[in-house]
Structure 1
């Protein structure tokens, strides 16, 4: 499979096509794709999703995709790397947390986002701003960043809450999404709080999670939180104090301990 590689932290592409000339491919970056006009099919990891004007897709590096264009389509892309996320995010914001959550919530990558009319209008305006910056993107990275954060907040705000289901794989997907959403709020990740959310008991949820995930609930939370913290520290853009405050940690030594794994 072809893999497209991007060196620049962020790139913008606005183009119109009557036929799709790229093979099924993946990337080394993330892609926010806006359908400005047109319709057709979007193939993502072997599944097919109909697209139309106003739709938004978020793809991670490993998702393989291609388009099948039925009517002339205008695409607007924001392509960005992990470097872009963490060199821009010097101050933790709800937008950064929303973006990290969207990146982890893989079910949205495979289906795109369903937005109400008011948000579709706002998203259209945001992508118009993004498109206007494509010839000067290197000098306008901070402006692009604010647009990405605004999009992340809007997109997360339209996601349904995943609830436990009758199938273990759906149960686990719901649990992972819950953890990723509340990773910045330690009290929400206590076994008794999660058990109440999923209508079970603290004595059951821990063994259930370990049986299906292969690690304990506490270890998964620790590993995921530690990975996010390491990315912030490696960027050099965050103070230990700000990281501790963002993740609800008691002090800077706790931050260092989690980052060390």
Structure 2
């Protein structure tokens, strides 16, 4: 597996190509990839995702990927390291949390983001700004950071669990983020463990979740896990044994039993 290493805090790449020149690879940095024009397929962690103009992908350091281009594609890559994300002079706190929330949500990297028409327009404008900042990255570093935070804010409000109910509180967003981060570790999704993490009680967190989400904590975790498992199975790249291991399940029969239960 080829691994690309980036030593500069941030790099902007804007180019159009007809054939993808790189083998499957990962990186030591994060990437926000914007499809300015073109069509094709994004092979990401053994999943195949069709892309078109306006699509946006967020990749973490260990994500493996390459592109299969159908129509000449203009890519805009915004690459940044942990140092850039957590640098001492950045506007951190809430804004860093916006990006960390997205990075922790593993499944967003497998599906990209479905943006509203308004937000698609805003993203396009922001990337025009980023392209304009490219000639002098060092001077414009703080401005580039602000664009990343603007993108993070827009992406976060387009996550399915957020768009389904815009009235959900930030506390609920944190609960969803925790579930998504630990969906592969069942022991961390027990009510008692979650309650301790959020400094409350097991008797409170269940009713709180149902009141705000419209279904029980157990139902949401089960439904979300089944969606992910079905995606694995549909790809044809995973055996039941591999899926059971990935999700911390007992064995293949446990996977089959989960899939037979009603959503």
The alignment's TM-score, normalised by the length of structure 1, stands at: 0.66
Tell me the distance in 2 between the aligned counterparts of 1:187 and 1:144. 34
Query: How far off its partner does 1:134 sit?
Result: 1.5
Aligned to 1:29: 29
Matches within 5 A, 1:14-25: 14-25=14-25
Tell me the distance in 2 between the aligned counterparts of 1:158 and 1:113. 7
Cα deviation digits, residues 30-71 of structure 1 (max 9, x gap) = 000000000000000110000000000000000000000000
Aligned to 2:7: 7
Tell me the distance in 1 between the aligned counterparts of 2:131 and 2:157. 23
CA change 1:17–1:118 in 2 (3 A) is: same
Secondary structure at the counterpart of residue 11 of structure 2: strand
Tell me the distance in 1 between the aligned counterparts of 2:217 and 2:177. 16
Aligned to 2:43: 43
Q: How many residues align?
A: 193
Tell me the distance in 2 between the aligned counterparts of 1:124 and 1:201. 37
Tell me the distance in 1 between the aligned counterparts of 2:62 and 2:39. 24
Which runs of 5 or more structure 2 residues have no equivalent in the other structure? 165-174, 183-195, 222-246, 250-263
- Higher RCO (C-alpha under 8 Å, 6+ residues apart): 1
CA change 1:90–1:48 in 2 (3 A) is: same
Aligned to 1:176: 179
Secondary structure at the counterpart of residue 121 of structure 1: helix
Tell me the distance in 2 between the aligned counterparts of 1:201 and 1:105. 18
CA change 1:192–1:156 in 2 (3 A) is: farther
Tell me the distance in 2 between the aligned counterparts of 1:49 and 1:89. 37
Query: How far off its partner does 1:116 sit?
Result: 1.0
Query: How far off its partner does 1:194 sit?
Result: 3.2
Cα deviation digits, residues 138-185 of structure 1 (max 9, x gap) = 22110000000000000000001199xxxxxxxx98753388xxxxxx
Secondary structure at the counterpart of residue 32 of structure 1: strand
Secondary structure at the counterpart of residue 16 of structure 1: strand
Root-mean-square deviation (CA, aligned residues, Å) is 3.1
Give the stretch that moved more between structures: 153-162 or 56-65.
Answer: 153-162
Which runs of 5 or more structure 1 residues have no equivalent in the other structure? 164-171, 180-185, 206-211, 215-261
Q: Indicate if the aligned counterparts of 1:13 and 1:77 stay in contact, CA closer than 8 A.
A: yes
Tell me the distance in 1 between the aligned counterparts of 2:77 and 2:216. 42
Secondary structure at the counterpart of residue 61 of structure 2: coil
Aligned to 2:57: 57
Query: How far off its partner does 1:118 sit?
Result: 0.6
Aligned to 1:117: 117
The alignment's TM-score, normalised by the length of structure 2, stands at: 0.66
Q: Indicate if the aligned counterparts of 2:10 and 2:81 stay in contact, CA closer than 8 A.
A: yes
Q: Indicate if the aligned counterparts of 2:29 and 2:82 stay in contact, CA closer than 8 A.
A: yes
Tell me the distance in 1 between the aligned counterparts of 2:217 and 2:120. 40
Matches within 5 A, 1:168-207: 175-177=178-180, 190=200, 191-196=202-207, 197=209
Aligned to 1:97: 97
Tell me the distance in 1 between the aligned counterparts of 2:178 and 2:93. 24
